[in-house]
Structure 1
Amino acid sequence: MDAISYERAGDVSSALRAAQQPGTMFIGGGTNLLDLMKGGVERPVHLVDITHLRGLDTIGTLPDGGLRIGALVRNSDAANHALVREQYPLLSQAFLSGASPQLRNMATVGGNLMQRTRCGYFYDTAFTQCNKRQPGSGCASIEGQNRTHAILGASSQCVAVNPSDMSVALVALDAVVRVSSLRGERTIPIAEFHRLPADRPEVDTTLQPGELITAVDLPPPLFSDHSHYLKVRDRASYAFALVSVAAALQMDGHMVRTAHIALGGVAHKPWRASVAEQMLSGKPLTDTTLRAAAAAAMGEAQPLSGNRFKVQLAQRSIVRAVNQAAGRTGGVA
């Protein structure tokens, strides 16, 4: 067993100073990190407990009318917060779609952003071919079990998908991630926070060494009346998405003024369906237009041997989620 040292940080500054030690990792709820440590996938030498940092466990309004959610806010608390439920129902639905009630009671917003892929080859160290665990070793999923894997944005190095439900909703809502380091503070648009694999699949995010997520900022609510989070999975509870869709619309009668659509379960990061958004925005919402937009969203799809079904599933899920967001119960999926 590897030796691990532990300390509880008293404030953000002390947490950042402690992170300068090589092999250090922050631990909040630990719902993903502890699993990775038990399996020997992650091997930190020093854990810095940030669960008691004051100010990072609150939700509050911003001067522009937006909302700031602290990185240590529990997923269950965020999902059930009055401002989140009323002004950002899409995000509340995404939180409640993730994991189980027990895990949501422990998991934090910052930890949710940082969770690693759920690829079986990545989690099982008996498989030596995993470029995410051992860069340059190969990707067993490409020729192996790949039913749950990526159909968009993958590379010859990795075909795993991001497992977060919360992040898909945040991408549709144009959220911003706030981070701190000893160099100061900076913000990262959520669409730029997670990476596509390219030739560096072991690097999941654009965080720099020594940086700590402190909050997620949401812009003023624009989609309170017309949004929907749809998660298609193998079972109704505690399962990761085969495909998920976060649909957020601004409507003027039957006209779509603005459409934001993000997909989960299809790529190494939450995938913004920009082409579909452009095809829907400024037009009446009809079955024909919606089906065409959904098909266009899959125009660059490159399915693997075991997940070709995801292409049609994603199209039908986009149609259903947008119809639900618009209140078109009679629309065809």
Structure 2
Amino acid sequence: MATPVTIKVSNRNPRKPIKRLPSSIEVTDATTVQDVKDKLGKQVGLNPERLGISDPEKKKLLSDRKALITKHKEVLGGLEILVKDLGPQASWTTVFVIEYLGPILIHLSFLAIRPYIYSNPGPLSTSQYLSMAMIVLHFLKREYETLFVHRFSLATMPFFNIFKNSGHYWVFSGFNLAYWIYKPTSYTAKSSPAIDSINYVGIALYLFGEIANYNAHVVLSKLRKPGGTERGIPKGFGFDTVTCPNYSFELIAWTGIALVTKSWSTVLFGIIAYGQMRIWAQKKERALRQLSDKYNKKRNGIIPGPWRKL
């Protein structure tokens, strides 16, 4: 093993310095970013996941916890790392489970609380029951994927994200959809007792979108070993057309839900979701482009369109 190298340790935020932070740390060619975080965490008395390690030149966060610290040229060149307290952290699984649980409970609870919200609520129509089933199943699928399919490269995210993410899902896909869909005077409530042709189209789009979305998530999960942080270029159904077909298929599923609910609230949620997914898709596009010069640059991350090689 190579001779240990001494690297200077500095507070990235001098205004909020980390107490008891050592002035230096010794690393070898086998020391990972996580090893550094673990060593510093013990010395400063903080959970290692709270510590963000950055290089001194670009001040870019070293997000790959399994990467060798000596492989970062900026760190090795300046023999320095910057450390910041990221604050309380929560696991990605915990955040996802909580944020998806909200819409499930909210929609199911409307079966019991409708008499206390609306006057003369009456029974739910076929379309309203169908809408509830589609929305609840969508988020149950997400819960399953969170627990058994997704493989996260980062161990944690800021604890505050629980409230931010839950606010998005609980409000826009929970209360927002439920209040208008299960309203006695809504278009959905006045639908025919039988499933009409529009509902059949909506169900078909929904099933296709959900199944294709699940397949895309499985493809993405196979790019990384359990507990791994490695990145890969996904290939398969949808991935040769857009950067993030999982988002494309999700929008198709929600289009199906919108046709069944026939509610402006579903359209509103779809527009908000598209805006956020578009930002994520652009970040994913940039990350894949940096990963390999053989990656085919897409012109759009979600909606299919012309694309060319770099």
TM above 0.5, yes or no, is no
The TM-score normalised by the length of structure 2 is 0.28
Structure with greater strand percent = 1
Structure with greater helix percent = 2
Instruction: Give the structure with higher Rg (CA).
Output: 2
The TM-score normalised by the length of structure 1 is 0.26
